[in-house]
Amino acid sequence: YQLLNIPARRVAIFGGTHGNEMSGITLVNLWIKNGKEIQRKGVETKPFITNPRAVEKCTRYVDTDLNRAFTTENLSAPSGDDLPYEVKRAQQINEIFGPKGSPDAYDVIFDLHNTTSNMGCTLILESSKDHFNLQMICPVLLTEHPLLKYSTSRSVAKHPIEVGPQPQGVLRSNIFESMRVCPLTIDGLCCVGLEFPPCSVDVFRVWDKMDYPRDTNGNIIAMVHPNLQDCDWEPLNPGDPMFQMFDGTTVRYEGVGTVYPTFINEAAYYEKQQAFVTTRRETLVAGAIKKA
């Protein structure tokens, strides 16, 4: 089998990519004050607030979604005062932690997010080719998709990663604590002498996004069906209820075969015309990892 060396020398932990997702913001601010919990021998770990103006206002973003702003177009735009705040910020972040796609980029970025959906603690990966050892006790969402790709903050790193979930502007102790274990995974990435055998990992690969039913003016005319609400990661089969129209009728899922919905009724996705994401289950084989 393939032996991979991943010399994770520089790891960044981002909070506040969305300024109303409180767990990551709180943790990163704690770690900026006192970094003991995240320091590891031979590794530079940098806690960083990515969107301070949105954090100050406790809003997702000020001008545009920072977690969609890391496009080549934005990153190469001539800098100027007329650029949206988050585009300027993306350029600065790319300078510090990138440049994206270059050998100088940080090895890993943990970008800490919250979701209003009932997803539990979730690791979101962008590539099935990142042979990290994924023997995690949480669901893995794989966003690798030819059309539904978006340009995230974490994509600046060579091996991007992220964690989740809770309501906007709220700090809940259970969610805070479940996110606090995130730096433990640094041990798996960085510590000299650690080895991982090859293993197989079940992931949920993004399949499609589903919008709410709308009238001709674009207004939402249904809610997520009670049978689907909070059922993230559970199977949705053809014929299963999906939406409850305001007139009381039920809209059923009509796709082909079983999907596993997630980000169900995520507050931040109303503006993105997205009621939930469907995924398909898939098994990935992760190569062995041997530390340099």
Which strands, in side-by-side order, build the sheet including 195-196?
Answer: 3-4, 288-290, 195-196
Among 189, 266, 276, 289, interactor with ligand KKD by CB under 6 A = 266
Q: Is 150 annotated as a binding residue?
A: yes
CA distance 59 to 73: 25
Least Å distance, CB 192 to ligand KKD, is 30
Is residue 115 involved in binding ligand KKD (CB under 6 A)? yes
CA distance 252 to 98: 45
> Measured in Å, how far apart are the chain's first and last C-alpha atoms?
17
Q: Is 68 annotated as a binding residue?
A: yes
Is residue 279 involved in binding ligand KKD (CB under 6 A)? no
* Residue of 164, 169, 160 whose CA lies nearest to 110: 160
Phi, psi of 37 (to 5 degrees): -60, -25
152 binds, among ligand KKD, Zn ion, none (CB under 5 to 8 A by kind): ligand KKD
State the amino acid at position 140 in one-letter form: V
Number of residues that bind Zn ion (CB under 5 A): 3
The residue behind tokens 């996110």 is: 179
Is residue 205 involved in binding Zn ion (CB under 5 A)? no
Catalytic, 44? Answer no
Binding mask 189-228 for ligand KKD (x = CB under 6 A): ----------------------------------------
* Residue of 263, 217, 265, 258 whose CA lies nearest to 243: 265
Residue 214 exposure: Cα atoms within 13 Å on the Cβ side: 11
Q: Is 73 annotated as a binding residue?
A: no
Is residue 18 involved in binding Zn ion (CB under 5 A)? yes
Out of 56, 73, 144, 162, which one is annotated catalytic? 162
Render 119-152 in DSSP notation, one character per residue. Answer: --S-EEES-TT-------SS-EEE---SSS----
The residue behind tokens 């433990």 is: 184
Least Å distance, CB 206 to ligand KKD, is 9
Q: Is 154 annotated as a binding residue?
A: yes
Among 112, 124, 163, 259, interactor with ligand KKD by CB under 6 A = 124
CA distance 232 to 277: 10
Is residue 107 involved in binding ligand KKD (CB under 6 A)? no
Least Å distance, CB 124 to ligand KKD, is 5
Stretch that binds Zn ion, among 48-56, 109-117, 223-231, 244-252 (CB under 5 A): 109-117
Q: Is 61 annotated as a binding residue?
A: no
In Å, how far are 25, 101, 150, 238 from 28, measured between CA atoms?
5, 25, 24, 42
266 binds, among Zn ion, ligand KKD, none (CB under 5 to 8 A by kind): ligand KKD
Nearer to Zn ion, 6 or 49 (CB): 49
Element spanning 288, H or E: strand 288-290
User: Binding site for substrate: which residues?
Assistant: 67-68, 150-154
Which positions are catalytic? 162
Binding site residues, ligand KKD, CB under 6 A: 18, 67, 113, 115, 124, 143, 152, 162, 266, 268
Q: Which residues bind Zn ion (CB under 5 A)?
A: 18, 21, 113
Residues within the annotated binding site for Zn(2+)? 18, 21, 113
